[in-house]
């Protein structure tokens, strides 16, 4: 099977800052910032969806498709959706800190 080369710049034209800027315009009343965007990515497993996310390993950079903005705008209108994403991400970060502390303490 031959793999068709993808035009990454056309399929994934947005960086995180671009997505956040667009979300702020489309959701002016929502508390959107880079932390909230990371929470959304985590909670909704966006990095695992090849139609929404592309990882440029050499540059250590994530790129996103236009579809990710549409998806987030649609879901952000659901009650407590953003809050649930932030809460899940906060719990994940707490667990990571605890694991690192346990490794450091030798437990």
The pLDDT tens digits for 13-27 are 999 999 999 999 999
Q: How does the average pLDDT of the chain come out, rounded?
A: 91
> What CA–CA distance (Å, rounded) separates 58 from 96?
25
Is 89 within 8 Å of 43 (Cβ atoms)? yes
Q: Give the list of residues 6+ apart from residue 20 with CB closer than 8 angstroms, or none.
A: 32, 33, 34, 37
Query: What proportion of the chain, given as a percentage, has pLDDT over 90?
Result: 79
Is residue 6 predicted with pLDDT exceeding 90? Answer: no
Does the structure show a pLDDT above 80 at 83? yes
Please give the average per-residue pLDDT across 68-89, as a whole number.
96
The residue-averaged pLDDT of 88-103 equals 92
């Amino acid at each position: 099977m031959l793999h068709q080369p993808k035009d990454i710049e056309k399929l994934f034209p947005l960086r995180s800052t671009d997505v956040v800027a667009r979300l702020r315009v489309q959701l002016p009343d929502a508390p959107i910032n880079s932390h909230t965007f990371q929470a959304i990515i985590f909670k909704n497993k966006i990095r695992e969806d090849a139609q929404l996310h592309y990882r440029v390993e050499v540059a250590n950079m994530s790129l996103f498709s236009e579809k990710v903005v549409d998806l987030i705008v649609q879901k952000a209108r659901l009650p407590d959706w953003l809050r649930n994403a932030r809460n899940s991400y906060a719990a994940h970060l707490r667990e990571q800190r605890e694991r690192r502390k346990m490794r450091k303490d030798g437990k």
